[in-house]
Amino acid sequence: MIKTILVPATGSQTDTATFAAALRVAKLFAAHIDALHVRIDPVATLVAMTTEGSGGVMIGGLVEQLEQDVREREAKARRAFMEFCERERLSITAAPADAGANPSAQWHVETGEEPRWMTNYGLTADLIVASRGAPDNAIARSTLEAVLVQTGRPLLIPGDGAPSVEMADRIAIAWKPTPQTARAVAATMPFLARAKEIVVMTVQEEEGRCDDADRLVRNLEWHGLKAVAQRLTPDGRGAAETLLAAATAKVDLLIMGGYGHSRLREWVFGGFTQQLLVSAPVPVLMVH
């Protein structure tokens, strides 16, 4: 069951999509949203940028400017969070007993590096919801990779297109016989149990049978879930693009294992995980 959802509160435009996706899940499970804002440490940032003992006057001025920027960013993030809670009528609480059967939320602030703090908090969350950020936002990308690889928890990335109202109605599983995909299926059973339609999608990349997809369908049926297998033949777009196009046309949510190959191999040769960390029309729920 999904009861605690961790989201980064960055003070940027992506917070709107992140909060909205987290709320849709929270309404499904009457869950609690933990919004985490990570303040940059101005001194640590400048120490990393300069050599010791040089430019003391200039550094002092930069520290003051950075501190002001940090305060403004935190204030903007908190304001967006409070407006979100007021608009959606979410109770702000730290105790489950105070929230009752409705979604609730809580504000947290830490100082340091966002990927590290999101990982620390993510280890004890049921679900992490985080957006991709702008193409040039290296911190957002580092945060996604850190929580995916280091927490072992499900990571939900909102889609780039218009949000789906019923996120869990139609679900596709990007099936490949890897431990990561198996863990993804097990970890997302709360979503699968609510789905009206489940499609186990496989891409026939070489000659041979794909009995494992049929076995997964059979296992889901033993859980009382209705699922079907769909085998896709890659076209000129390649296996990843073929599967993503098929999922986008049919479902509201795509479940998959993240980094089935080594991260180095995916960085060098490209891979499905890398592609979806950059862009995807539908929400993607990953587990490493």
What single letter denotes the amino acid at residue 216?
A: L
Residue 135 has pLDDT above 80, yes or no: no
Strands lying side by side in the sheet with 32-39: 91-92, 104-111, 32-39, 4-8, 127-129, 155-157, 284-287, 253-257, 170-174, 197-203, 227-232
pLDDT number for residue 268: 36
pLDDT in tens, 75-104: 999 999 999 999 999 999 988 866 567 899
Residue 51 has pLDDT above 70, yes or no: no
What single letter denotes the amino acid at residue 249?
A: A
pLDDT number for residue 171: 95
pTM over cut 0.85: yes
Give the residue-averaged pLDDT of 9-20. 92
| 111: β partners | 39
pLDDT number for residue 57: 46
Give the residue-averaged pLDDT of 192-200. 95
Cα-flanking dihedrals φ and ψ of residue 141, to 5°?
A: -65, -40
CA distances from 135 to 21, 92, 140 (A): 20, 32, 9
Q: DSSP assignment of 182-226, as one string?
A: HHHHHHTHHHHTT-SEEEEEEE--SSS--HHHHHHHHHHHHTT--
Residue 269 has pLDDT above 60, yes or no: no
Kind and range of the H or E run holding 105: strand 104-111
Separation CA 221–CA 228 (nearest Å)? 10
Residue 119 has pLDDT above 50, yes or no: yes
Residue 201 has pLDDT above 60, yes or no: yes
**Cβ-based neighbours of 147, under 8 Å, separated by 6 or more:** 115, 118, 119, 122, 128, 130, 153, 155
Give the residue-averaged pLDDT of 262-281. 60
What letter would DSSP give residue 251? Answer: -
Residue 265 has pLDDT above 50, yes or no: no
Q: Which domains does the chain have, with CATH numbers?
A: 4-157 (3.40.50.620), 170-287 (3.40.50.620)
pLDDT number for residue 267: 42
Looking at 61-70, 107-116, 152-161, which range is the least confident one?
Answer: 61-70
Rounded CA Rg of the chain: 21
Band of residue 45 on the pLDDT scale cut at 50, 70, 90: low
pLDDT number for residue 212: 87
Give the residue-averaged pLDDT of 36-62. 66
Q: What is the 3-state secondary structure (H, E, C) of 56-69?
A: HHHHHHHHHHHHHH
Band of residue 47 on the pLDDT scale cut at 50, 70, 90: low
Band of residue 161 on the pLDDT scale cut at 50, 70, 90: low
Residue 183 has pLDDT above 90, yes or no: yes
